[in-house]
Structures are given as C-alpha cells and as structure tokens.
Amino acid sequence: MKHSRNALFFAVGLALALFIVACGSSTPSSGSSGRYGAGSSSASTPSSGPAMTIKTTTLTVGGKALTVLTNAQGMTLYYRTSDTPTSVCSGGCASAWPPVLSTSMPSVSTTLPGTFSLMNDANGSQVAYNGHPLYTYSGDSAPLQANGEGFGNVWFVVPTTLPTTTPSGSTPTPGGYYHRP
C-alpha cells in the first residue's frame, strides 16, 4: 500500500512538472522574427535588430509587368483596400495576411516615389507605404509569388506607384491602380 501511494505522488509530481515546463514559455521562437511573415501562417513579430529592408522586383500581374515591393527575402508585399486608420487586418485575418512589423523605419534598396511610415495599430508597429499598412500572404510559399493578388477583390500587391489615398468613387484594378467606374 505504501509503495502504490509513493508511485501516485511521483506520477502527480511528474505530471505537474511537465505541465509547468509546457506552459512556462510564451515568447515566440526567434526563427520567425526576421521573416516578417513571409510564407508563414502566423502573425509576424517586429524586428529587434537592424531595420528591415524593402526591395523592389518586377512581377507579371494581370498579364502586365509591374514593379512591386518585397521584403528582404523577396516575398511579395500586399495592401488591403478595406483598411482604415481604425480597422486593419488583425487577429485571425493576420494569420493569413501577416502584417509587416518593425521597430524602426525600413531601409529601402532603391529610390521610390512613395513614403514609408510606421503605424501603431492593433498589430503593433506596422510598416505602411503611402499610408497603406503592408502585409505578406501565407499563400505565397516562395519569393516572386503573388498568389494573394486580387483576393476577395480587396488584397493587391503593392506597386511602387501606390496612391496615398483612394480617390472617391474609384475601385482598384489588378496591381493596385485605381480607375473610376
């Protein structure tokens, strides 16, 4: 009887120790912090090292060659036309569309006509281009893909010529350009 009671105490103690170890760390692994969500299905975390780099590349979008923004790993950047200053893609949405986060202004590999900024929103310190918060897409598994282009008719690749505001009464076309109906 004494032997089985000792075994029970040992088993309960071991289970408690495993529970504590499993729940003890809530910080994300360092492997995801430098990717800015590129090809990831979870929200990205801000960079704690040097500023992130924004690059440009030419992709075929809607049958046309378009110069678009990418992160340092070559993953295509997107914006959402339904974003507002008080409503951005966050929570469950950010699982599919990880926000581009940074603790400092991004460096840019080329001269661009637009302006970068950091927006403090529901995601944290999110990088924006011409006022549009930037995202990657979990459906892009490799650089130079644009699988999110036109998704839901609100997600578009970020062209270097992205306008700062959506003209009244206009709708986006593939590649993020606007036209009046």
Task: Give per-residue pLDDT as tens, 75-122.
Answer: 999 999 999 877 899 999 999 999 999 999 999 988 999 999 999 999
Q: Is residue 41 scored above 70 in pLDDT?
A: no
Adjacent-strand bridge partners of 129: 116, 132
- Report yes or no on 19 lying in a domain: no
Q: Is residue 65 scored above 60 in pLDDT?
A: yes
d(C-alpha 171, C-alpha 86), whole Å: 21
Give per-residue pLDDT as tens, 126-162: 999 999 999 999 999 999 999 999 999 999 999 999 9
- Report yes or no on 174 lying in a domain: no
- Report yes or no on 9 lying in a domain: no
- Report yes or no on 13 lying in a domain: no
Distance of CA 162 to the CA centre of its chain: 18
- Report yes or no on 150 lying in a domain: yes
- C-beta of residue 157 within 8 angstroms of C-beta of residue 175: yes
**Residue 4 buriedness (CB in 10 A; 0-12 / 13-18 / 19+):** exposed
- Report yes or no on 139 lying in a domain: yes
* DSSP-based three-state secondary structure for 179: strand
Q: Could you give the number of structural domains in the chain?
A: 1
- Here the tokens at position 127 are 């990088």
Amino acid code (one letter) for 48? S
Q: Which of 132, 151, 157 is nearest to 56 (CA)?
A: 157
Domain assignment of residue 67, given as a range: 30-168
**So what's the pLDDT on residue 35?**
28
d(C-alpha 66, C-alpha 89), whole Å: 25
